[in-house]
Amino acid sequence: MILIDGKKAAAELREELKHEVTGLKAKYNKVPGLTVILIGDLTPSQIYVRNKEKSANEVGLKSEVIKYPDSIEEKKVLEKIEELNKDETVSGILVQLPLPKHIDKQKVIETILPSKDVDGFHPMNVGNLSSGYESSVPCTPLGCYLLIKKVEPNLNGKKAVIVGRSNLNGKPMTQLLLKENCTVTITHSKTKDLKAECLEADIIIAAVGIPELVRGDWVKKDTIVIDVGINKTDNGIVGDVHFDEVSKNAKALTPVPGGVGPMTIACLLKNTIDCFKRSLS
């Protein structure tokens, strides 16, 4: 079984991006800039943002974090986004989710210029992705896609089963695999026989949020299994896939932690650089 090393893949991607930023700086005398807005003091959000900032600095991006207290008015946040939209030194804007209840998430997402939407959540980017046009792609599915391509460069005609239909993971993942000519089945909580669906798959992407849902006897030999889940349990962090069981059957599997997670941040940096490059043309 191939253990798909997300840490290594993310380090390689960061290295490539670092070279790219050096080249862009030499050619245009400016570097891509990422601005993250962090509202409130949720510990996981603070950790994510710190890691994003560290990685952005590592590859040579101009990185800025704007922090607001939980009590910040929605209007102030929207005004700041409008200001960043106009700022030529800012290539990408990310508002860390979740937001306090009084702030309308959709309004925030739709205020970010689609060309600076490094999360790929703006309806314009969602539409472009599903129409097969150039767009920012949400970072986690993009990371999954790059990991799959490392194991299997030619996905033509492969049967992919996606477990979970969230806007964040399952749906964009579907579009990425359709583009690669996979036959895609998207499953969810009302799917009648999830095990039977998974047993058909050459590729399984589990993005559910249920610890170890996908079992060893759900996976046929030669299947590539990507585990997006991050679940806190009494036994520590586990994925949506039963690692010990599935590793006995699968052709390749991502561990949790150390699989998809590290790729998510590296893909955010990639998206920022891609936004910068599109702004030049």
226-265: contacts with ligand NAP (CB under 6 A): 228-231, 260-261, 264
Specify whether 119 is catalytic. Answer: yes
Rounded CA separation 72/193 (Å): 46
Q: Are the beta carbons of 205 and 231 closer than 8 angstroms? A: no
Report the site for ligand NAP in 262-281 (rule: CB under 6 A).
264
> DSSP for 209-259?
-STT-B-GGG--TT-EEEE---EEETTEEE-SB-HHHHHTT-SEE--SSSS
Given the residues 52, 62, 116, 270, the one annotated as active site: 52
Rounded Cα gap, residues 122 and 115, in angstroms? 9
Looking at 103, 163, 173, 273, which residue binds ligand NAP (CB under 6 A)? 163
Find the shortest distance in angstroms from Cβ 10 to ligand NAP: 11
Give the 3-state secondary structure of residue 82: helix
Task: Rule CB under 6 A: say whether 210 interacts with ligand NAP.
Answer: yes
Q: Is 141 in the site for ligand NAP (CB under 6 A)?
A: no
Catalytic residue among 62, 80, 116, 119: 119
Cα–Cα distance, 229 to 118 (Å, whole number): 22
Cα 257 to its chain centre, rounded Å, is 15
CA atoms within 13 A on the CB side of 258: 7
* CA–CA gap between residue 212 and residue 216 (Å, rounded): 10
Contact range with ligand NAP by CB under 6 A, out of 8-16, 34-42, 84-92, 186-194: 186-194
Scanning 9-17, 28-36, 63-71, 223-231 for contacts with ligand NAP by CB under 6 A, the matching segment is 223-231
Give the Cβ contact number of residue 8 at 10 Å.
12
Verify whether residue 175 is a known catalytic residue: no
**Min. distance of Cβ 160 from ligand NAP in angstroms?**
15
Minimal distance in Å, beta carbon 78 to ligand NAP?
24
- Span near ligand NAP by CB under 6 A; candidates 10-18, 106-114, 154-162, 206-214: 206-214
What is the token pair recorded at 124? 């314009």
SS (H, E, C) 183-219: EEEEECCCCCCHHHHHHCCCEEEECCCCCCCECHHHC
- The least distance separating ligand NAP from the CB of residue 87, rounded to whole angstroms, comes to 28
- Residue ranges of alpha helices (H) inside 29-159 are 43-58, 74-86, 105-111, 123-131, 139-151
Q: Does 138 bind ligand NAP (CB under 6 A)?
A: no
Q: Which CB sits closer to ligand NAP, 103 or 228?
A: 228
Which CB atom, from 96 or from 187, has the smaller least distance to ligand NAP?
A: 187
Instruction: Work out whether 219 is an interface residue with ligand NAP (CB under 6 A).
Output: no
User: Nearest approach, Cβ of 24 to ligand NAP (angstroms)?
Assistant: 26
96 carries an active-site annotation: yes
Nearer to ligand NAP, 158 or 165 (CB): 165
Residues noted as catalytic: 52, 96, 119
Applying CB under 6 A, which residues contact ligand NAP? 140, 163-166, 168-170, 187-191, 194, 207-210, 228-231, 260-261, 264
